[in-house]
Structure 1
Amino acid sequence: MTAVVDGEQKVPARQLLVLRDFRRLLYLRFVSQWGDGLFQAGLAGAVIFNPERGADPLTIATGFTALLLPYSVVGPFAGALLDRWDRRRVIVVASLLRAVLVLFAALGLLAGAPSQVLFLMSLLVLGVSRFIGSGFSAALPHLVPERNLVQANSIAVTLGSVVAVIGGGCAIGLRRIFGEDDFGSGLTTSFALIGSLGAAMVAVRFAKGMLGPDEVNEPSGTVLAVARGLVDGGRAAWQAPRVIAGFVALFAHRASTGIALLMAVLLMRYYFTDVGWLKAGLTGLGEIAAMAGLGIFLGGVFTPKLVDRFGRHRVIIGSLLVVATAMAGLGLPMTLPTMLGAAFLLFGGGQVIKLCVDAVIQSDIGDESRGRVFSLYDTLFNVTQVVAIALAAIVIPANGHSHGLVVVTIVIYLVGAVGYVFASRRERATA
């Protein structure tokens, strides 16, 4: 059956897969995010769960910063250039450059380079990945009808996230084969080359200009365009009340997720012990990733149905409240089984919120500014997550066991729900 939203009939999600270029974008996203997931998990294992290296809360927080900061630093540049250059060319060149950087990172691990050097290499690799990720989001409206953006995002973003989790699982499996020391970690990380090279091979098959931008609303100088990226993105977002309201909800989710991630790593490394078939350590993090991936997948499957039935406002508010309840009921006991349940609901609810906000940006922001707004989006929310992790690292116990920080995440979600309601009033006033 088809659904009618805002007076327009939506095509069933399965029919979107008939669109050849949309399928090609899916293949591109999948191979790229598989490589990203493998690289990030390989690096995390090399630094945090490597018997040859130590890892206290501040070291782990530094590692998270290395994984997240590129999205913040590179974001304004990616946005301005994606709204100026052919997005197909950006994705191809960035994928090849990422392959070279992944190779250098793997060689650094093989040589036993210091953790600081590895963090720097991860900054470069994931910084280049940001160009690719922003390009996916900005290009999607060129390949599917606007009325199907929620469905297309549900398929692309959700399955892409699941594939990234699978990439992380591959890294865990490869570490078991090659070993958990620096040498084994280097061999594991080198497999991320497959994702980068594969992405370049798929991207080059798009026709020139097919991914946009259709129009260029940029200064003649590239440097000036880059400098104006955040300002222009902020101006475009502010003029779209639905986008600002969505930003408030995502702020709450990203801040809480940052705290939860730091706690999960420390608990798995220093506090939890095996419970039956459930394992602690790096394998335990793989179990959390699997539950998170399941939550992301189901969130993507049900988001279009929930939005059709209840409307975007209720879905976002409900998601914030459900995750707050999950952190209270499953996070506070702080056991290995309940932590897995909390991860499932936290990432599932977060995926619902993200998909709703992505679709709003793609429908409410013009193509000439969409790349900059998505880059602003990445910048703000990853800075929020980095700051949350850094602040939590200052006060968290060395083993990660802190009921107080779980309560903080609950409060942040509740404040986010209230903030979203108030921000939505501006949307109604504008309408």
Structure 2
Amino acid sequence: MRTLHPRLGAGFNRLWAASAVSNLGDGITMVAGPLLLASITADPVLIAGGVLAQQLPWLLFALLGGAVADRFDRRRLIVLTNLGRALALTVLTVAVATGHVPVVLVYLVLFALGTGETIVDTAGGALLPLLVPPDLLPRANARLSATFTIANQFAAKPFGAWLFGLAAAAPFGLDALTFVASALLIASLPIADVSAAGAPASGRRSLRRDIAEGVRRLHGHPLLRTLAAAMGAGNIAFGAAFAVFVLYARQRLGLSDAGYGLLLTTFAIGGLIGAGVAVRVTARFGNAAVLRAGLLVEAVTHATLAWTTRPLVAGAVLILFGVQTVVWGVITSSLRQRLVPNHLLGRVGSAYALLETGGAAAGTLIGGLMARVWGLTTPFWVAAAMMGAILLVVSHRLADADRR
């Protein structure tokens, strides 16, 4: 007999704990990395290069990471990758502690962390359906999203800055330990990996053919193709608008640096709320209606930010935007995990992630140029129009999200 709130199981709890630990470490390094670079150089280009070093692997290796995740034992792959990331951070910790830390070393470590992320995130998403029944996937994804928000967005940022002030090497040493702890938890998962199930010949095929198979599966599924296209185009709009967000907060809203940080926190608050309501909202209204509402919320968010000069209004709409972002992510992740055979899940997920990342990168470049030529609010108005157009184009195609 089923209970009203069935347990997700011991296996999921270990995956959840591993995610919480590594997200805390990731958030600490996300804060400490720029602080370290700022202590080495005052060149804004070199400091910005650290962000690029960690993001670039998603553009270079996302598809490859998906193919690797589908070809090898995912549990072992995550363990080895996390131990490798721990080793890279250990090298950086020693370098910082001894006072011999060139900028290029920081770049190399951040690039290594980003490369590992392309493998671990893809493989971890493909492991989840092996641990959780299909009907509980939305609940599991919502819990993982909530954990990310609490550990990475709330707890890690101030803690990482405090640790860096205490001892510059401390944040990186602690992050190395979090990767070791995460690896041990993943190694204890009570599953038999079936990453190659249904594809016995995959080991004899080239990685290029494996990647192509994942891309074809994504392109060949009407609903998943629609979601991926909507997300890719939507991230162009998002990237364009938020490329200049720090200048928007200062010049348009009149916020101080502390006020800017507080404004960013509102997005995390919305994400936490979204993780709490995602399952109930989709159960009440259905996936299709919630996905359509999400696209509308994005259009309204960008338009409101373009219009307002009041920080409270901007903060309120960003909370709503944070809710929609997490709810959308829970729905789309759960749909992929249900609709894609497990032996293809890594490749399909990585192709989806590439569209997300590529859209955001393109939008960031476009938004910066638009703001320079036509003013700070232009990217937000353009983003609002884009999201409205996306909603009109894909609205009828989202009906399939309820016929899964």
User: In structure 1, what is the equivalent of residue 331 of structure 2?
Assistant: 356
Residue 206 in structure 1 maps to residue 195 in structure 2: no
Gap change, CA 1:109 and 1:422, over 3 Å in 2: farther
Evaluate the alpha carbon distance shift between residue 10 and residue 109 of structure 1 in structure 2; reply closer, same or farther with a 3 A threshold: farther
RMSD (CA atoms): 3.2
1:197 Cα deviation from its structure 2 partner: 1.3
**Structure-2 residue corresponding to 1:15:** 6
- Residue of structure 1 in register with 2:382 after alignment: 408
Q: Which residue of 1 aligns with 2:391?
A: 417
In structure 1, the residue matched to 2:362 is 387
Question: 1:149–1:359: 8 Å Cα contact kept in structure 2?
Answer: yes
**Which residue of structure 2 lines up, in the alignment, with residue 220 of structure 1?**
203
* 1:167 counterpart = 2:160: no
1:298 aligned partner:
273
Q: Deviations over 1:198-229 (max 9, x none)?
A: 1112112124624745444553347x1x2234
Partner Cα distance (2:371, 2:105) in 1? 26
Secondary structure (helix, strand or coil) at the match of 1:74 reads: helix
Aligned residue in 2 for 1:341? 316
Q: Which residue of 2 aligns with 1:35?
A: 25
Of the candidates 146, 150, 173, which is equivalent to residue 134 of structure 2? 146
* Cα distance in 1 for residues equivalent to 2:259 and 2:198: 48
> Is the Cα–Cα contact under 8 Å of residues 327 and 406 in structure 1 kept in the other structure?
yes
TM-score, normalised with respect to structure 1: 0.82
Q: Offset at 1:195? A: 1.9
* Residue in structure 2 matched with residue 277 of structure 1 by the alignment: none
Residue 113 (structure 1) shift: 5.1
The 3 A distance-change label for structure 1 pair 363 and 349 is same
Could you tell me whether the CA contact under 8 Å between 2:218 and 2:224 is conserved in 1? yes
Equivalence map 1:207-286=2 (5 Å): 207=190, 209-210=192-193, 212-221=195-204, 224=206, 226-267=207-248, 280-281=256-257, 283-284=258-259, 286=261
Report the CA distance between 1:54 and its aligned residue: 3.6
Per-residue CA distance 1:65-102 (angstroms, 9 max, x = gap): 33322223222222112212111101110110011122
Q: What's the secondary structure of 1:170's corresponding residue? A: helix
Answer whether contact 1:171 1:189 (CA < 8 A) is retained: no
Asked if the contact 2:231–2:355 (Cα under 8 Å) also holds between the matched residues in 1, the reply is no
Q: Are the aligned partners of 2:67 and 2:210 in contact in 1 as well (CA < 8 Å)?
A: yes
Residue in structure 2 matched with residue 134 of structure 1 by the alignment: 122
Q: Name which of structure 1's ranges 21-30 and 340-349 shifts more when overlaid on structure 2.
A: 340-349
For the residue of structure 2 that corresponds to 1:228, the secondary structure is helix
Amino acid at match of 2:333: D
Specify whether residues 334 and 209 from structure 1 end up closer, same or farther in structure 2 by C-alpha distance, changes over 3 A only.
farther
CA distance in 1, matches of 2:204, 2:385: 45
CA separation of 1:334 and 1:92: change in aligned 2, threshold 3 A: farther
Structure 1: where are the runs of 5+ without partners?
A: 1-8, 179-183, 275-279
CA distance in 2, matches of 1:15, 1:347: 27
* Aligned equivalents of 2:91, 2:247: Cα separation in 1: 28
* AA in 1 matched with 2:84: L
Please tell me whether the aligned partners of residues 248 and 376 of structure 2 are also in contact (alpha carbons under 8 angstroms).
no
Letter in 2 for 1:364: L
On the 8 A contact 1:21/1:143 being kept in 2, the answer is yes
**8 Å contact from structure 2 (residues 81, 116) kept in 1:** yes
For residues 51 and 342 of structure 1, the distance between their equivalents in structure 2, rounded to whole angstroms, comes to: 37
Identical-residue share of aligned pairs (%): 19
- Show the counterpart of 1:77: 64
Letter in 2 for 1:369: L
Q: TM-score under structure 2 normalisation?
A: 0.87
- Structure 1 residue identity aligned to 2:376: S
Contact 2:34–2:47 (Cα < 8 Å) also in 1: no
Q: Label 1:235 to 1:125 Cα distance change in 2 as closer, same or farther (>3 A).
A: same
Structure 1 pair 138/187, CA: closer, same or farther in 2 (3 Å)? same
| Aligned amino acid, residue 31 of structure 1 | V
Specify the code of the residue in structure 2 equivalent to 1:419: V
Describe the shift of the 1:350–1:197 C-alpha distance in structure 2 as closer, same or farther (beyond 3 A). Answer: same
Say how many residue pairs are matched: 401
Residues in 1 aligned to 2:82 and 2:14: alpha-carbon distance in whole angstroms: 16
Q: Which amino acid aligns with 1:42?
A: A
Counterpart code for 1:247: A
Deviation for aligned residue 1:262: 2.5
CA contact (8 A) 2:25 2:175 kept: yes
- TM-superposition CA deviations, 1:226-248 (whole Å, max 9, x none): 22343111111123222112213
User: Matches of 1:259 and 1:171 in 2, distance apart?
Assistant: 28
- Measure how far apart 1:52 and its partner are: 4.6
Q: Report what 1:92 is aligned to.
A: 79
Cα distance in 1 between the residues matched to 2:2 and 2:59? 35
Counterpart Cα distance in 2 of 1:163 and 1:144: 22
